[in-house]
Amino acid sequence: MLQEIIPILRIFDERKAKEFYLDYLGFHLDWEHRFEPGMPLYMQLSKSGIKLHLSEHHGDCCPGAAIRIGVKGIRSFQKQLISKKNPYSRPGIEKTPWQSEECVVTDPFGNRIIFYEFLDREDQLGGTGQDEC
């Protein structure tokens, strides 16, 4: 049985990554790992049950990924981001044809995080409300 998914996003600068993900988006640093000093960083962040792995390791993933994260209260979340006055990110909200609202942010490494909230619960559940594997 499937239990969890943790996306890995490529980063190139520890300071910029922490400013963006911890200070701006409000994630928490769970742990960091380096095989030895001076080696690439690998870390786990979390927020509200969502986990992300960020990696400086070349072979782990490519920059420019896109992930989607469901949000309850997307308008409030977007206002929080705007209030932080980040000079590089002033995300808006876009209504999609599939009945959701999205707030898209791009990290300093070209990865897009699409925060979304469905406007109609039936659309989110595919009309059945049942999970299959």
Q: What is the pLDDT of residues 111-129, one digit of tens each?
A: 999 999 999 765 444 444 4
Q: Is 56 inside a domain boundary?
A: yes
Per the structure, the count of domains in the chain is: 1
Residue 122, pLDDT score: 53
Residues 95-104: tens digit of each pLDDT = 999 999 999 9
Q: Is 133 inside a domain boundary?
A: no
Q: Is 48 inside a domain boundary?
A: yes
Q: What is the dihedral of CA 28, 17, 13, 16, to 10 degrees?
A: -120
Residue 27's domain spans which residues?
8-124
Q: Is 66 inside a domain boundary?
A: yes
Q: Is 131 inside a domain boundary?
A: no
What's the predicted TM-score (pTM) here?
A: 0.86
Residue 130, pLDDT score: 42
What CATH number is associated with residue 56? 3.10.180.10
